[in-house]
Structure formats: C-alpha cells, structure tokens
Amino acid sequence: MWRKGESSELLREFPDFTDTMHSLTALERMPIGVVEECRQAVAMARRFNRAVAHSYSLDLDRKMQEDPTHLPWELVEEANRWGFFTMWIPKLFGGKGWSLTSISPFVEELASECLAITNLIGVHYFGYSILAATWNIRLIDLISREVVEGERNGKPCLVSGAVTEPEAGTDAEEVELLARAKVRCQARRVEGGYVVNGRKIFISNGHLSTWHILVAYEDLEHPDETMIALAVKNGIPGFSFGRMEKKMGQKGCPASELVFEDCFIPDEYVLVSASQARDMGMRRSPREAGMQLIDFVVSATRPGVGAMGAGVARGAFELALQFARETEVEGRLLVNHEWAQCLLAEMYKNAALARLSYMEANYSNSMYGMARLLGFKPLYYYHRYAPNRVMDRLMPAVNAKEAVTKVFRKLVMDGQSDEEARRASGWASLAKVAGTDLGVRNCQLALELMGQAGLRHDRRAEKCLRDAKLLQIYEGTNQLNRLNLFKCLVSPAAPEARVFED
C-alpha cells in the first residue's frame, strides 16, 4: 500500500524528478505552436547560411586578420535586412515575438556555419536579455521600438551588454565573488541621476551597437549590494569607445572597450537599482536581487552559448565527414575505414548530446526563468496572433506607466521561487559547459582527421577551432559554470557544502 504523499516524497529525493526531467514536464505546459516556430527558425537560418554566411564567413575572417580594426557594418546591415534583430523581441514592444525556445535551434544552425556571424547576431540578444531582465517596461519598450525602427529604416540599432571589467570577469557573474571583487566601474548618485566612471572590456558588438546595457556599482566597496543597470546610448557626453581586441577567433564580431568618464546618466535611464527596488517594495534584498538579475540573464543566454557549441560541433563534424567522403587512404575512401566511421559516429554523438543539453535547459528556462509568463498558453496565443498594428497602437502608452513595471516585477521577480531560479540557472550552466566542451572537442577531432587539410584557412576547420575556444570562456568560464552547477544542482544533496569559499 502506498502511503498518501509517498510518491511525491520519493520524487523529491535527490535528484529531484523536477530537477531532471524538464522536457517531460514541459510537454504538457508548452504551447504546441512553439514546435512550428522552432522548425521555421531552423529553416530560416539554413536559408541565411546558404545565401549569405557560407561564402561570406571566410572572407570576413580573412579580412579581420588583415585589418583587425575593420568594423563589419555590411554584415550588421545584412542581418538587419533579414529581420534577425527583432525576431525575439516580444510583440508587446513592437518586435516579431518569436518564442524564446526557438532561438537556440536557430543559433545552432547559424553556428554550424560560422560562430563569428552567430555571435554578432546572438549577442544583441545578450544585451537585450539584460535589458529584459530588469523588467523596466518603459525602457524596454523605448529601446525595443528603436530596434524595430532601425530595421524599418535600414539603420541597424543593436543592443550590447556591458558587464566584464579589466579586473573582474568571473567575479562579475556571481554575487559571492562580487562581494570581494576589484570592480572599478562606479555609478555615483548625484542630483537627477548618476555619474559613471570606469571601463568595460570584451564587450561584444560594442562598436556596432547603439544602446549599451551597462551594469555598474554604486559603492565599489560593496558591489554585491549596489549593482545598478543603466541604459546608455551612443553620443551621450562622457561615453566613448576604446580599443578593439585582437581575438584568436570569432573575429567578425568585435570585442570593444567602453570608456566612461564623468558620464552623466539621468534618472530616466536607470533600468534597475537597489533604491528603485526598495521603493517598489520588492521582497528580495539588494544582494539577492542582484543574483536574481544575473541568473535571469544567464539562464536565458547560457543555453544559447551551449547551442553555439552544438552548432560548431556539427560544423566540424560536417567538414570531417566531407573530407572522409572525398579522400582516399590506401586505395579506399576514408569514409569506408572502420576507425573513421567510429570517429565520425563519435562526433555526431557529441553534437547530439550538446543539442539535448541546450534543449533541456531551454525547457527549464521557459518554465522557471524570466520569460515564463510568455509561455503561459493564453498569453502565448494572444501574443502570437494579435495583429501588430493593434499592439503597436495600444502598448506604448500602457508600457510607459510605472504601475505596469511594478505589476510585472511583482509577478516575475517576486513570483519566482529560489527553487525555480536554481533549476533554471543550474541547467543553463550544465548546457553551457556540455555544449562548449563538446564543440571544442569535435573541432580537435576534425583537425586530427583532416591532417594538413585541416590546417588551411580555406578548408574552414581551423576557423571552427579558433572560434570555438571562446565559447569555453564567455558567459562565465566553464570553471565558474561548473561551480554554479554545483551550487544549483548538486549542493541540495550536500547541505553542508559552501561554494566560493574554498
């Protein structure tokens, strides 16, 4: 005989069923329309790869090797023409409103051709996700509509995210570390706004973006409790671009330095701050709210980086397969040698595992992360089928009201439990580590198989390897992500464990 509640208790034992079975759990909750969106997103990416990326990616990489200061505006404009910068902006804010789940398969597909182009498109959504994670509806609406307008008038308006500093990379991704970090980018409170001083580095698309979502700190002695997000637009006095990094790969997507010198940001461009949260009566402490903001972002973006890993794993596999099909070894095609077949099977498997990981993390994030409201079926279908002109007439006025921001923040921020945050963030790290390690692995294997041919730029495989290595570093190094995975998914089974104390 089963005791009442026994089954639930058993399922809550480590590993909690809910922590491990996201796709199964999502099956009943997910609007079926998402499947069709994913199919369309993949088809669209394949079309773009054929029409643009395949021929352009090598030229761009070579061009950047020749002139590392080149800014690939032509690519930004092309992606803008294809409508890629508004596809995942909700219709509430004037965008095309594709479901977030469909972005990762799209990213994988692009990444199978070129990671630099993928990053140039994808990192716009990294910037956008910080903006969205603040749930400052007025500013989300304002900036989103500028991106949409930029698409309409052919003057691309991209969003970058500025977090990393010269002396704080990993530290900026975790409040425990942030508390002891050497951050330097300060937003000092003054009458009517903030004055920002400091530098941000490695900002993907910095030079190419119009808006920059800046994470700074009000008190450099207590950055973990005084995190502040500001919206910075090009041209504002005191803000300028510094150097462009010379990277090993992903060269087509610039990594920029952003420089702030007594840069005044008026109150109306404050996305979120501790005092703002306090005034709205949010339930989390400033430090907890800081971690939630980080988790909101990385739970959405890390699966995307995992998808880039899956994509490059596939790209490398496809190049190796092509090589094996056209190369004769000892009088037989390489593809007919048993060892080569096992190697190619291994590479296919690596790509498949990377894909499974990011899809699982995607389900987790769609159910527990910052955009889960949009996956709620009635809202999803209303959002999907309501005509844009109706939305565009109604929403700007609604979105401008502070009360709307407050309602959303209560629903999404206060409404998210710590358990949910932990699940989304832990799986995002898992997918990021798995996908990127498998991606680099496949590139290494492809180069070994291809020998001399693999070394040549014109054969593409070497570019895959150079590009892929960055995936293990950005969006938190894979070491930081392993620790976050431990914190989120393993430490529930080891309550005595302390993370980041070593």
Does 176 bind another protein (CB under 8 A)? Our answer is: yes
- Asked if 450 touches another protein (CB under 8 A), the answer is yes
**What are the structure tokens assigned to 339, written together?**
């060892």
Give the footprint of another protein on residues 29-68 (CB under 8 A). Answer: 62, 65-66
Burial class (CB in 10 A: 0-12, 13-18, 19+), 87: buried
Using N-to-C axis directions, what is the helix angle for 461-469 and 286-326, rounded to 10°?
Answer: 170
Which residue stretch of 269-277, 358-366, 377-385, 442-450 sits at the interface with another protein (rule: CB under 8 A)?
Answer: 442-450
CA 229, 235, 240, 244 torsion-angle sign = positive
DSSP one-letter string for 290-354:
HHHHHHHHHHHHHHHHHHHHHHHHHHHHHHHHHHHHH-EETTEEGGGSHHHHHHHHHHHHHHHHH
Three-state SS sequence of 170-232: HHHHCHHHHCCCCCCCEEEEECCEEEEEEEEEEEECHHHCCEEEEEEECCCCCHHHCEEEEEE
Among positions 109, 257, 462, 475, the unique one binding another protein when judged by CB under 8 A: 462
Task: Show the CA angle centred on residue 254, arms to residues 249 and 259, nearest 5°.
Answer: 135
169, 306, 315, 369: which one contacts another protein (CB under 8 A)? 169
Shortest separation between residue 174's beta carbon and another protein, angstroms? 8
Q: Report in angstroms how near the CB of residue 305 gets to another protein at its nearest.
A: 14
Is residue 457 at the binding interface for another protein, with CB under 8 A as the rule? yes
Q: Which residue has the tokens 């980041």?
A: 500
Is 327 a binder of another protein (CB under 8 A)? yes
Cβ neighbourhood burial of 284 (10 Å; 0-12, 13-18, 19+): middle
Our finding on whether 477 is near another protein (CB under 8 A) is: yes
The owner of tokens 């190369």 is 327
With binding defined as CB under 8 A, does residue 473 bind another protein?
Answer: yes
Stretch touching another protein by CB under 8 A, among 222-230, 269-277, 322-330, 399-407: 322-330
Select the residue interacting with another protein from 149, 167, 262, 279 (CB under 8 A): 167
Q: Looking at 88-96, 121-129, 275-283, 459-467, which segment touches another protein (CB under 8 A)?
A: 459-467
Tokens of 436: 């990127």
Q: Are 323 and 449 in contact, with CB atoms under 8 Å apart?
A: yes
CB 337, min distance to another protein, A: 9
The answer to the question of residue 336 lying near another protein (CB under 8 A) is no
Residue numbers 237-296 binding another protein by CB under 8 A: 245-249
Q: Under the criterion CB under 8 A, does residue 173 sit at the interface with another protein?
A: no
Under rule CB under 8 A, residue 120 binds another protein: no
Residues in 359-418 at the binding interface with another protein, rule: CB under 8 A: none
* Measured distance CA(9)–CA(494) in Å, rounded: 18
Please say which residue, 247 or 355, places its beta carbon nearer to another protein. Answer: 247
Choice between 192 and 451, CB closer to another protein: 451
Secondary structure (DSSP) of 145-172:
HHHHHHHHHT----EEEE--BTTBSGGG
Is residue 442 near another protein by the rule CB under 8 A?
no
Residue 319 interacts with another protein (CB under 8 A): yes or no: no
Residues 6+ away with beta carbon under 8 Å from 217: 183, 185, 186, 187, 223, 226, 227, 228
Can residue 20 be called a binding residue for another protein (CB under 8 A)? no
Q: Is 474 in the site for another protein (CB under 8 A)?
A: yes
Q: Give the residue with the Cβ less far from another protein, 77 or 326.
A: 326
Q: Which of 437, 439, 463 is nearest to 450 (CA)?
A: 463
* Rg value, the chain, Cα: 23
Quote the CA–CA distance of 79 and 121 in Å, as a whole number: 7
**Residue 78's closest CA among 61, 47, 53?**
53
Contact residue for another protein among 12, 180, 278, 393 (CB under 8 A)? 180
What is the x/- site pattern for another protein, positions 200-239, by CB under 8 A? -xx-------------------------------------
Q: Among 451, 493, 494, 497, indicate the residue that binds another protein (CB under 8 A).
A: 451
Whether the CB-CB separation of 298 and 173 falls below 8 Å is answered with yes
Choose the stretch contacting another protein; rule: CB under 8 A; options: 226-234, 338-346, 367-375, 379-387: 338-346
Is residue 181 within the footprint of another protein (CB under 8 A)? yes
Tell me which of 111, 120, 300, 440 binds another protein, using CB under 8 A. Answer: 440
CB nearer another protein, residue 113 or residue 173: 173
CA distance 340 to 308: 25
Token digits of residue 224: 């973990």
| Shortest distance (Å) from residue 470 CB to another protein | 6
Of 53 and 465, nearer to another protein (C-beta) is 465
Alpha-carbon span 233 to 242, nearest angstrom:
15
Give the one residue of 28, 221, 496, 502 binding another protein; rule: CB under 8 A.
502
HSE toward the beta carbon, residue 216, CA cutoff 13 A: 28
Judged by CB under 8 A, does residue 328 bind another protein? Answer: yes
Question: Which residues lie near another protein (CB under 8 A)?
Answer: 62, 65-66, 164, 167, 169-171, 176-177, 180-182, 201-202, 245-249, 327-329, 339-340, 343, 440, 444, 447-452, 454-458, 462, 465-466, 469-470, 472-474, 477-479, 482-483, 500, 502
